[in-house]
Amino acid sequence: MPISQGDLLFKLIKSLSKAEKRNFKLYVKRIQSEGEVMFFQLFEVLEKQKVYEEDKAKMKLNDLSKTQFSNLKRHLYQHLLTSLRLMHLNKQLDIQIRELIDYAYILYGKGLYIQSLKILSRAKALATNNHHNLLLQEIIEFEKRIESHHITRTTTERMNKLIHQAESQAKVNTSIIFLSNLKLELQRVFINKGHAKVEMDRVKILEDYGPRIRDYKIEKLSFFERVYYFQSLYWLHYILGHFERCHYYAGEWVGLYREAPNMLEEDVDIYMRGLHQLLTTCLYTNNASTFKQTQAELEAFYTQYEGQFNTNSQILAFLYRYQAKFNRALMEGDYESGIQLIPEVQAQLDLYGNQLDLHKIHILYYKMAALYLCNGEAGAALDYLNLIINLKAGHLREDIQAYSRLLFLMAHYDLRNEDIMEYLTSSTGRFLNKIQDKSRLQEVSLRFFKQAIYKGDQERLKLLAELRDKLEEISVDPFERRGFVYLDLFRWIDSKLQQQPIKSLALSH
């Protein structure tokens, strides 16, 4: 069912911060000095609603006709966007540059060509210094248009310079578009197919994408060409399971922003995403020292720039910071500290839930469940695992669903719920048979649970020891490496064999 205009308007209103609402009210006062404008009445009605109820909103406004109400919604939506644009004008450089370009078009339309060129010169300096390449191309083309259509007393040297700038910028933009497309394509390959599972997969990926990346010489690339170049290499090696190489390229990506502080402030999202990828590769490579350093860098950056974040940046900061905190608690075996963060995370999920995709919610729920299970609270772990398993997410990230089902079996095993284990192992088996990203770790783990259902304690200990031996063999396989990060089976098995809580084993190491 398509999203209605009213739904879009309602979601926009609900996304406004207190400052943005206050700014909108001041904006309305400026454009309507006397009396109350009708679109603002609609804003006040919708702002108070918890869910969108169009009929009630119409009744509050003297039951307007369908056409009148539709026009009023459109009118309010446009004014909200105008108010937001004015508010964020000084915070976002690309909006400032576009405004200067708009001014230049207005002056050009009035025949004031020299003034238009002066405004464009200011816009060009901003775009050049901050690597806004597509806007820079637009500015240069506009300058050429003015110079070619009107006599502006421009020297031949300036004309030649403009021609050279246009050609040079066109090449840069073509390269940026190619590399950003390549990065997007690699991300889509990962979403659709996951990591390479056998050597044949790796060979095919390298044949398809390796030559397209190797054609570039890094020293000749502009800032954003380098960013997309490193991102493309990161995703290529992430698919291949080369996590050490991923770590290197994520470091190069973050390093570009460290060396260009003006770009760091201008594009906080890409910088934070780079830190997040660096943290992810530290987890996969078990690099605890760099993980701590990078986490500290992320926290310091958040503390310094939080006041400048828009909603999207706040959401990313929430996701990346708390994933890092959960991962660190799991790495270090300090499960209680991770569990103490869960109320904070749940509050943020309630705040941003409508703006998060299911995969990101799944990841957080999975981490919470793992923390509870490792802390000896299997019942609490089941609460979060049920949320994942029962949440309909289509084909998106079936690996999270698969590992959630195995964690689900581990929790029921800990609770000694033998009466439902046969049903659960059967349903888990059916799920694993349907997915593409099945691993040997998943297969041997499921086989253990099927075999252990009706066994006594001593027989189960024997099966656990056998499972550990099999997992030791599997763990050296580079294609199985990631699964052991998701599912800390060794600690879980050792806790059973040594008859100690997982948290005791983790802290002793």
Question: Would you say residue 401 has pLDDT above 60?
Answer: yes
63 domain residue, yes or no: yes
Question: Would you say residue 153 has pLDDT above 70?
Answer: no
Q: Is-contact 359 397, C-beta < 8 A?
A: yes
Closest CA to 265 of 91, 125, 20: 91
Q: Which residues contact 353 (CB under 8 A, 6 or more apart)?
A: 361
Q: Same structural domain for residues 61 and 105?
A: no
Other CB atoms within 10 A of residue 137 CB: 17
435 domain residue, yes or no: no
Task: Read off the pLDDT band of 260 (50, 70, 90).
Answer: confident
Query: 345-385, pLDDT tens digit by residue?
Result: 999 998 887 788 888 889 999 999 999 999 999 999 999 99
- pLDDT for 311: 85
- pLDDT for 34: 46
271 domain residue, yes or no: no
How far is it, in rounded angstroms, from Cα 180 to Cα 167? 20
- pLDDT for 505: 72
Which has more pLDDT, 491 or 485? 491
Q: Which of 197-201, 295-299, 404-408, 417-421 has the lowest mean pLDDT?
A: 197-201
Other CB atoms within 10 A of residue 270 CB: 19
Last residue of one domain, picked from the residues 87, 103, 125: 87
Task: Read off the pLDDT band of 299 (50, 70, 90).
Answer: very high
Last residue of one domain, picked from the residues 87, 103, 128: 87
Q: Same structural domain for residues 65 and 112?
A: no
Mean pLDDT, the chain, rounded, equals 87
Q: Same structural domain for residues 76 and 9?
A: yes
Q: Same structural domain for residues 101 and 82?
A: no
Q: For residue 112, report the phi and psi dihedrals to the nearest 5 degrees.
A: -95, 75
Q: Same structural domain for residues 15 and 73?
A: yes
- Tokens standing for 409? 């079996």
Question: Which structural domain, as residue segments, surrounds residue 144?
Answer: 93-154
How far is it, in rounded angstroms, from Cα 406 to Cα 387? 14
- pLDDT for 282: 93
Q: Which of the 8 DSSP states describes residue 424?
A: H
Rg (CA), the chain: 28
- Tokens standing for 142? 């506009």
Q: Is-contact 362 393, C-beta < 8 A?
A: yes
Torsion of CA 451, 454, 456, 460, to 10 degrees: 20
Say how many CA atoms lie within 13 Å of 75 toward its Cβ: 14
Q: Same structural domain for residues 73 and 27?
A: yes
Question: Would you say residue 166 has pLDDT above 80?
Answer: yes
Question: Would you say residue 39 has pLDDT above 70?
Answer: yes
Q: Which of 110-119, 191-200, 418-427, 447-456 has the lowest mean pLDDT?
A: 191-200
Segment 21-25 shows an average pLDDT of 89
Task: Read off the pLDDT band of 155 (50, 70, 90).
Answer: low
**How far, in whole angstroms, is CA 18 from its chain's centroid?**
25
Got the DSSP string for 87-103? HTTTT-HHHHHHHHHHH
Q: Is-contact 131 222, C-beta < 8 A?
A: yes
Task: Read off the pLDDT band of 439 (50, 70, 90).
Answer: confident
Question: Would you say residue 2 has pLDDT above 60?
Answer: no
Q: Same structural domain for residues 79 and 127?
A: no
Task: Read off the pLDDT band of 1 (50, 70, 90).
Answer: very low
Question: Would you say residue 35 has pLDDT above 50?
Answer: no
Question: Would you say residue 340 has pLDDT above 90?
Answer: yes
Segment 142-163 shows an average pLDDT of 75
- pLDDT for 154: 59
Question: Would you say residue 338 has pLDDT above 90?
Answer: yes
Q: Same structural domain for residues 105 and 31?
A: no
Q: Same structural domain for residues 77 and 102?
A: no
Query: 10-21, pLDDT tens digit by residue?
Result: 888 888 888 889
Which has more pLDDT, 382 or 390? 382
Q: Label residues 377-416 b or e (16+ Cβ within 10 Å = b).
A: bbebbbebbebbbeeeeeeebbbbbbbbbbbbbbbbbbee
Q: Same structural domain for residues 74 and 100?
A: no
Question: Would you say residue 79 has pLDDT above 50?
Answer: yes
Q: Which residues contact 187 (CB under 8 A, 6 or more apart)?
A: 235
Q: Which residues contact 398 (CB under 8 A, 6 or more apart)?
A: 435, 436, 437
Segment 288-311 shows an average pLDDT of 92
Question: Number of structural domains, the chain?
Answer: 2
Q: Which of 26-30, 407-411, 417-421 has the highest mean pLDDT?
A: 407-411
Amino acid symbol at 42? L
463 domain residue, yes or no: no
Say how many CA atoms lie within 13 Å of 109 toward its Cβ: 6
Segment 72-86 shows an average pLDDT of 89
Question: Would you say residue 316 has pLDDT above 60?
Answer: yes
Q: Which of 168-177, 199-208, 237-246, 317-326 has the highest mean pLDDT?
A: 317-326
Q: Same structural domain for residues 80 and 98?
A: no
Question: Would you say residue 506 has pLDDT above 80?
Answer: no
509 domain residue, yes or no: no
Query: 117-138, pLDDT tens digit by residue?
Result: 999 999 999 999 888 988 999 9
Question: Would you say residue 296 has pLDDT above 90?
Answer: yes
The structure's pTM equals: 0.82
Percent of the chain exceeding pLDDT 70 equals: 94
Cα–Cα distances (Å) from 184 to 230, 234, 376, 381, 437, in that order, read 13, 12, 41, 35, 21
Last residue of one domain, picked from the residues 87, 119, 145: 87
326 domain residue, yes or no: no
450 domain residue, yes or no: no
502 domain residue, yes or no: no
